[in-house]
Structure 1
Amino acid sequence: MWVMEIFSYTIVDVVVLLVTIVVLIRLYIHRQWQVLNKLNIPHTPPTISGFGNLGELKKDPDSIFIGDLKKKKIFGKVYGSYNGLRAAVTVHDPEILKQIFIKEFPIFSERIRSFAKINGKELNDGLNVVKGKKWKRIRNTLSPSFSASKLKDMLGIMEHCSNTLVKNLKRFAQKDEGRFDTKEMLGRFSLDVVCAAAFGTDAHTQEYEDGNPPKIVQVAQKTFNSTLIGSPIFILVFMFPWVEHILKFFNYSIFPTEVVKYFSSLVDVLLKRRKAGETTSRIDIMQMMLKSQISESEAVHGAHTGLTQNEIVGNSMILMLAGYETTANTLIFLCYNLATHKDAQRKSQKEIDDILREHGSMTYEAVNKLKFLTQCINETLRLYGPIPRNARYCNKDIKINGVQFLKDMEVIVPVYSLNHDEEFWDEPYQFRPERMEDMTKIDPIMFQPFGAGPRNCIGLRFAITEMKVVMFQLLKEFDIDVCHDTPSPPLELKCTSNMRPKEKIFLKVSPRKSA
């Protein structure tokens, strides 16, 4: 009978119903897009066709990092945008940012909300997405793995991988005028280090012939090549955030199933070896995580430290994801800067020579005395930082320095723009390592390549030490120079998962003339 009633409606009735629905939807959208107006936060007017303000990124993907400085000139140090229907506020004011990152940290403790539940059960327990007591327990457990004493123990891993890189570059120095693909060589080095540290296994990434990589390399590359952006799932979750909860129920993961299974199996093997009494003299992050293992029951009932098996798998993968490309790309930029600024390269080499005369070899203490090389690394991180933006989420309504932030609102931190703002940096697009000589004069809010506050990158000391170790070995042996097709500074950048050069960077090495 109800079917007959439906067909009894006239075309006019149907049209009126559809028009009413469209009008109600449009009114709802209009209401959502009044949030920033009510807060008196300036912004570019959102549009339906641009899905809020996201159309700007579609027109110009580079606006995710260069656009913030342009908007600061138009709107000031605080301005808004709409990601679909959700309002976000970009803060360029260092005083407000200090309160967000430090003083009001409990209110702004979350880094990620969107797409935080669809990484699979293992990666859903990653340090980058968990919150509250679970985040504190995992952070407290992992932090000692990055202490000075543990980094000293792991120096051997970094040195071994660096020696392999030097050996390979020596072969290049004997042919093709020493020309090499920086992404290929430094990427393999970085993956070798992170696999050894995060998974306690030698990947031999730098030793295989092209076209025949070991299994761990194949799986790692599949991880880095997987992308969610633009997929139907991405669009669906972005439009309807509640869909994430349904996908989480079915343990949906944006990462390939093969990848998660492989690393889960690898951790299983390492755990079985440990239970069987097998030990290793090598110290790595995986060994330290395995020693901290607790049961799911202990985790649920309030353990203050320790990791479950799922958390060990997930955080091993997070360490690999966070530590591979970011370190590799920073090393590419660093070698490029030293190749194009020979005075800085020569000064770094002299520093290394002096320290070798003092210590006799590369030790942890010797590496920590590389003051000028550290300045070059920090200036490279400022000029070509790995992450263009950071974010925090507001957990309750709060007003800071006259700016109102609403519960659940995203706060965008324009890291690239902070690093290139003429208001705070002289000649911000020039490579000038001397500006990093006294870090007490550098505002840690304006220079935050690894984030700021209690939730900064846990592996920052590991990454800096790794870069100093490999550059110590490289500059001890080689002069690094540009090729005929090396682009002139400043480099053009693009942002995918992180910042990288738009063009391939080829450099060349030759035995040191002064060695």
Structure 2
Amino acid sequence: MPVFFALLSLCANALLIILFLLVAAFLVYCLYIKYIHVNYDYIPGPPRDSFLLGHAPTFLGATKTDKTIHDKLLEWAEIYGPVYRVNILHYVSLCVSCPEATKEILMSPKYPKDKQVYKKLFYLFGERFFGNGLVTAQDHELWYKQRRIMDPAFSSLYLRGLMGTFNERADKLMDKLGEIADNNVQANMLHLLNCVTMDVISKVAFGVDLDLLNKSSPFPKAVETCLKGMVFYVRDIFFQFNPKNRGYVNEVKAAARLLRTTGAQWIQKRKLAMQNGEDVPKDILTMIIKTAAAEENMTEEDEEFMLDNFVTFFIAGQETTANQLAFCVMELGRHPDILEKAKKEVDDVIGMKQDISYDDLGKLVYLSQVLKETLRIYPTAPGTSRYIPESMVLDGIRVPGGVTCFFSSYVTGRMEKFFRDPLTFDPDRFHPDAPKPYYCYYPFALGPRSCLGKNFAQMEAKVVMAKLLQRFDFSLAPGETFDILDTGTLRPKSGVVCSITHRNYTN
């Protein structure tokens, strides 16, 4: 018995010591947070929701209620100015809407992507997701090496050669819309546009014909699941530890595994073709393989590296373009006068031609304005961030090094100081003779880390929209909402449900 009580006493003492150490660690952490507050609170910013969590409850609340956090960032920018502070635990971020600061930071290679956000995208609930791909790579040399190898797949000459595929896939969508019109049923435009953009990226980037408009596939759902899961993973550090979320977390991980497993199969098939001396296209998949082949000895990590870029291009190459097109249809449905003007231009430039040429795209000036205005109000990739390693002055405010600066094109695109009557959809803002926005419009980011696929995406969007306007009339379904769903990218919450009819060209 004495031994038992002695052991019991030792256990109790050990527990007390552990408890003491935990309490001491917590107090030290609280002191550190207080130190952060003292050092950064001279920078304007909204009151924290709590001492410990900072503004995290506001971000989590928006995520859980499907609200767009960028609306809150816009509200804060109007109140606290072009450079303001946001606290989450011991992290400090600065939200920047000052054009001069935006130019200085985004246009320079010396400010890397924010390690806190982009490092989290390496894994998704423990499952490798974007990894060290072109979007997430923080090391400049690693990124530059990838970008240099990928550039030929996005050259003007190569993109011209894609017009046939753009036309072919857009025609498949027109055929589907024709069936919908003939059957007098409504069309969920977001779903259909997701199918066609995923078909395009699969074909032109990876040489695979999915034909999603006519065949079922797990890929659209897998992409949507990963992106929504990514929002919870980045914004709620406790989400994965809640037992109630275990089923959803497993679903997200399974979706990420599906994308990477598919990528491994497609890469292996292309590598075998290259090894056998077969002619292969100079597409993204070939470039991904060449990126890894530049290494002298292929390792398991190099194989994963190829999959990182596969997932990056598979998702980035279709998601944002589909959302832009859906928002564009939504706004044209709300503005019949703009819709008619866009149709007239398409009729004048394209007429009754079956195929749209590369030269035709340059003549669709007003349609370009419509697509740019769509991205002003609805930037589908709404923001980017950079790490500031050394102290600098932003809009007259001295900023210590070691903070993250967040830039939201959604915020600047909706500010009266940059765009008069900003919530009004007005394509003439982007008329060739209109003054160009000064570092407050950047839906594809800016500088060396701007979107590599910008021209690809806008060519594809123009072809699809031009064919839609050429062949069909459409109107939004009664009761259609115009809410935005934040799934990392921004998309129309309602799906943009429309009634579709064939255009009548008889006089």
Into which bin does the TM-score normalised by the smaller protein fall? 0.7 to 0.9
How far is 1:350 from its partner? 1.8
How far is 1:133 from its partner? 0.8
> Which residue number in structure 2 is paired with residue 107 of structure 1?
111
Look up the SS of the partner of 1:510 in the other structure. strand
How far is 1:354 from its partner? 1.8
How far is 1:134 from its partner? 1.0
- What is the letter of the counterpart of residue 142 of structure 2? K
Residue 476 (structure 2) pairs with residue 468 (structure 1): no
How far is 1:167 from its partner? 0.6
Shift in CA distance, 359/406, structure 1 to aligned 2, threshold 3 Å? farther
> Which residue number in structure 2 is paired with residue 158 of structure 1?
166
Structure 2: how far apart are the matches of 1:183 and 1:357?
26
- What is the letter of the counterpart of residue 95 of structure 1? E
Residue 292 (structure 2) pairs with residue 285 (structure 1): no
> Which of 101, 114, 136 is the equivalent residue of 1:129?
136
Look up the SS of the partner of 2:187 in the other structure. strand
Look up the SS of the partner of 2:380 in the other structure. coil
> Which residue number in structure 2 is paired with residue 41 of structure 1?
43
Residue 339 (structure 2) pairs with residue 345 (structure 1): yes
Residue 18 (structure 2) pairs with residue 24 (structure 1): no
Deviations 1:195-240 (A, max 9, x none): 11222111111112xxxx2xxx31453243132454699626999x
Shift in CA distance, 314/198, structure 1 to aligned 2, threshold 3 Å? farther
Residue 500 (structure 2) pairs with residue 501 (structure 1): no
Shift in CA distance, 439/397, structure 1 to aligned 2, threshold 3 Å? farther
How far is 1:9 from its partner? 5.3
Contact 2:93–2:406 (CA<8 Å) still a contact in 1? yes
> Which residue number in structure 1 is paired with residue 101 of structure 2?
96
- What is the letter of the counterpart of residue 500 of structure 2? V
Deviations 1:331-369 (A, max 9, x none): 111112222222222222222222235988511111221
Structure 2: how far apart are the matches of 1:99 and 1:367?
33
Deviations 1:258-312 (A, max 9, x none): 43122112101111012212225x6643245446652423799xxxxxx965444
Q: Which moved more, 1:141-150 or 1:47-56?
A: 47-56
Contact 1:382–1:449 (CA<8 Å) still a contact in 2? yes
> Which residue number in structure 2 is paired with residue 431 of structure 1?
425
Q: Which moved more, 1:503-512 or 1:58-67?
A: 58-67
Shift in CA distance, 398/108, structure 1 to aligned 2, threshold 3 Å? farther
Contact 2:149–2:290 (CA<8 Å) still a contact in 1? no
Query: Which structure 2 residues correspond to residues 204-223 of structure 1 after superposition, within 5 A?
Result: 204-208=211-215, 213=216, 217-219=217-219, 221-223=221-223
Q: Which moved more, 1:40-49 or 1:80-89?
A: 40-49
How far is 1:497 from its partner? 2.1
> Which of 370, 374, 379 is the equivalent residue of 2:368?
374
Look up the SS of the partner of 1:441 in the other structure. coil
> How many percent of aligned residue pairs carry the same amino acid?
23
Contact 1:451–1:457 (CA<8 Å) still a contact in 2? yes
- What is the letter of the counterpart of residue 357 of structure 2? T
Contact 2:373–2:427 (CA<8 Å) still a contact in 1? yes
> Which residue number in structure 2 is paired with residue 267 of structure 1?
267
Deviations 1:412-458 (A, max 9, x none): 11221100001111111111111111277222521111111111111
- What is the letter of the counterpart of residue 32 of structure 2? Y
- What is the letter of the counterpart of residue 148 of structure 1? S
Look up the SS of the partner of 1:89 in the other structure. strand
> Which of 410, 420, 425 is the equivalent residue of 1:416?
410
Structure 2: how far apart are the matches of 1:18 and 1:255?
37
Contact 2:205–2:283 (CA<8 Å) still a contact in 1? yes
How far is 1:397 from its partner? 2.9
Shift in CA distance, 455/298, structure 1 to aligned 2, threshold 3 Å? farther
Residue 505 (structure 2) pairs with residue 511 (structure 1): no
Residue 61 (structure 2) pairs with residue 59 (structure 1): yes
Look up the SS of the partner of 2:162 in the other structure. helix
List runs of 5+ in structure 1 lacking aligned partners. 240-252, 301-306
Shift in CA distance, 10/358, structure 1 to aligned 2, threshold 3 Å? closer
Residue 208 (structure 2) pairs with residue 201 (structure 1): yes
Contact 1:43–1:75 (CA<8 Å) still a contact in 2? yes
- What is the letter of the counterpart of residue 285 of structure 2? M
Structure 1: how far apart are the matches of 2:231 and 2:131?
18
Deviations 1:114-165 (A, max 9, x none): 4144366784231011122110111111122212111111111211110100
Contact 2:414–2:422 (CA<8 Å) still a contact in 1? yes
Contact 1:379–1:436 (CA<8 Å) still a contact in 2? yes
Shift in CA distance, 237/399, structure 1 to aligned 2, threshold 3 Å? farther
Contact 1:126–1:314 (CA<8 Å) still a contact in 2? yes
> Which residue number in structure 2 is paired with residue 168 of structure 1?
176
Residue 131 (structure 2) pairs with residue 140 (structure 1): no
Deviations 1:60-84 (A, max 9, x none): 3435111122212321111101122
How far is 1:471 from its partner? 1.2
Look up the SS of the partner of 2:197 in the other structure. helix
> Which residue number in structure 2 is paired with residue 75 of structure 1?
80
- What is the letter of the counterpart of residue 278 of structure 1? E
- What is the letter of the counterpart of residue 199 of structure 1? F
> Which residue number in structure 2 is paired with residue 449 of structure 1?
443
Contact 2:83–2:395 (CA<8 Å) still a contact in 1? no
- What is the letter of the counterpart of residue 90 of structure 1? C
Residue 270 (structure 2) pairs with residue 276 (structure 1): no
- Aligned residues: CA RMSD: 3.4
- What is the letter of the counterpart of residue 132 of structure 2? D
Shift in CA distance, 512/456, structure 1 to aligned 2, threshold 3 Å? same
Structure 2: how far apart are the matches of 1:12 and 1:479?
74
Shift in CA distance, 271/35, structure 1 to aligned 2, threshold 3 Å? same
- What is the letter of the counterpart of residue 267 of structure 2? V
Q: Which moved more, 1:26-35 or 1:93-102?
A: 26-35
Shift in CA distance, 182/167, structure 1 to aligned 2, threshold 3 Å? same
Structure 2: how far apart are the matches of 1:257 and 1:27?
41
TM-score, scaled relative to structure 2? 0.85
> Which residue number in structure 1 is paired with residue 157 of structure 2?
149
Look up the SS of the partner of 1:180 in the other structure. strand
How far is 1:459 from its partner? 0.6
Structure 1: how far apart are the matches of 2:208 and 2:354?
30
Shift in CA distance, 32/205, structure 1 to aligned 2, threshold 3 Å? same
Deviations 1:302-327 (A, max 9, x none): xxxxx965444322221111122211
How far is 1:106 from its partner? 1.1
- What is the letter of the counterpart of residue 453 of structure 2? G
Structure 1: how far apart are the matches of 2:235 and 2:427?
44
